[in-house]
Structure 1
Amino acid sequence: MDQLGSLVGAFLLVFLAEFGDKSQLVCMTLAARYRAFPVLLGAVAAFAVLNLLAVAVGSVAATWFPREVVLSVVALLFLWFGVQSFLTQEDDEEESETLSLKSVFLSALVMIFLAELGDKTQLAVMGLASAEPPVPVWLGATLALAMTSAIGVIAGRALMR
């Protein structure tokens, strides 16, 4: 794939995988209670860092191991994550009632970062970065997550009305 194809592919994969995911619900919940801009900024900052980590790991793994091995490991991890999500019951109750950080930006950043660390999307970005140019993969994934976060923030603000 070329640079633009890698960016668009990463964007579409991540956008579709994250639409309606827990990070979007966190953005909705926080935006319903706090100002929208710091929530969105915190979420985007968290995703930018998470995607940078995933791209770095994927790119490094691609130089150390054959492509087939990296993609197989990512596929197995992705499958394991899917099975685990079906087997475990998550508590849908948000912990936003007891925010310990005073800054809404930091609260959003920390909540999103911890919720998404090692998530299926991060594994997908890692796999893409092992096979495609890392910068467009990072940019496409980060733009997709910024968009899903913005949709969550807008929905949260609308619920507040």
Structure 2
Amino acid sequence: MDSAVLVTTFGIIFLAELGDKTQLTAMALATRYPWKKVFIGIAVAFAVLNLGAVLIGKLLFAILPLFWIKLVSGVLFLFFGITTFRGGEDHEDGDGKRASARGPVVTSFFMILLAELGDKTQLVTTSLAAQYDSTLAVFTGSTLALWLVSLIGIFLGRQLMRVVPLATIHKAAGLLFFLFGIIILYQVVAAP
């Protein structure tokens, strides 16, 4: 594995995602679900996305029109925005266990998968894989960068819960999800 390609890919992807919707989504999900389950869902989604980016590349976009990906992603963000703003129906019981089996791992996986499919970091990963003859280094660097950015978002979200009441965080996270949904749907409508 080419360590220079790994470090270059890591740096580019890390900086591109820092403060982006993925990190904010991870933060918001961590205020609603157990952080370990959120991270598992996010980690698997990024591994799948990056595997697709380096192995399939541009072929992926020929099979799945970006219009439909963005449309589904926008609707999903609106849905989670509304349910999160309302405080959701999932609540932890006294032992910290989930009262509902809705699935934080599955929720996190699909939110990230749909939000990031065709996103700039996936396109950059595809481009880097095409430029360098080190697919494994590009995959590893990109995946590690996305995981680290997500963990930072998750832990910032957890720290926020210590200072701000959970109901306020739910409302802010719901508004954030809703805003992302509107932005994504606007991009779908405004696209030429």
Q: TM-score range by the shorter chain?
A: 0.7 to 0.9
**C-alpha RMSD of the superposition:** 2.5
Distance across 1 between alignment mates of 2:89 and 2:153: 19
User: Deviation of residue 131 (structure 1)?
Assistant: 1.4
8 Å Cα contact 1:99-1:107 kept in structure 2: no
**SS of match in other structure, 1:50:** helix
8 Å Cα contact 1:54-1:123 kept in structure 2: yes
Distance across 2 between alignment mates of 1:109 and 1:6: 27
Quote the residue 1:34 is aligned against. Answer: 33
Q: Deviations for 1:94-143, whole angstroms, at most 9, x for unmatched residues?
A: 62626898110110000000110000010000000001110110000000
Alignment of 1:9-158 (within 5 A): 9-58=8-57, 95=81, 97=84, 102-132=102-132, 133-158=134-159
8 Å Cα contact 1:129-1:137 kept in structure 2: yes
Quote the residue 1:6 is aligned against. Answer: 5
Task: Provide closer, same or farther for how the CA distance between residues 58 and 131 of structure 1 changes in structure 2, counting only shifts above 3 A.
Answer: farther
Moved more, 150-159 or 101-110: 101-110
Distance across 2 between alignment mates of 1:4 and 1:144: 14
After TM superposition, what 4+ stretches of structure 1 lie above 3 angstroms from structure 2? 91-94, 98-101
Task: Provide closer, same or farther for how the CA distance between residues 58 and 5 of structure 1 changes in structure 2, counting only shifts above 3 A.
Answer: farther
Moved more, 32-41 or 98-107: 98-107
TM-score, reference length from structure 1: 0.74
Larger radius of gyration: 2
Using CA pairs under 8 Å that are at least 6 residues apart, name the structure with larger relative contact order, 1 or 2. 1
Task: Provide closer, same or farther for how the CA distance between residues 92 and 107 of structure 1 changes in structure 2, counting only shifts above 3 A.
Answer: closer
8 Å Cα contact 1:58-1:128 kept in structure 2: no
Distance across 2 between alignment mates of 1:99 and 1:149: 24
Paired positions, count: 130
Moved more, 101-110 or 112-121: 101-110
Q: Which amino acid aligns with 1:103?
A: G
Q: Deviations for 1:68-116, whole angstroms, at most 9, x for unmatched residues?
A: xxxxxxxxxxxxxxxxxxxxxxx99962626898110110000000110
8 Å Cα contact 1:51-1:142 kept in structure 2: yes
Unaligned runs of 5+ in 1: 61-90
Distance across 2 between alignment mates of 1:99 and 1:106: 16
User: Deviation of residue 155 (structure 1)?
Assistant: 0.5
User: Deviation of residue 32 (structure 1)?
Assistant: 1.0
Identity of aligned residues (%): 44
Unaligned runs of 5+ in 2: 60-76, 91-100, 163-192
Distance across 1 between alignment mates of 2:30 and 2:4: 33
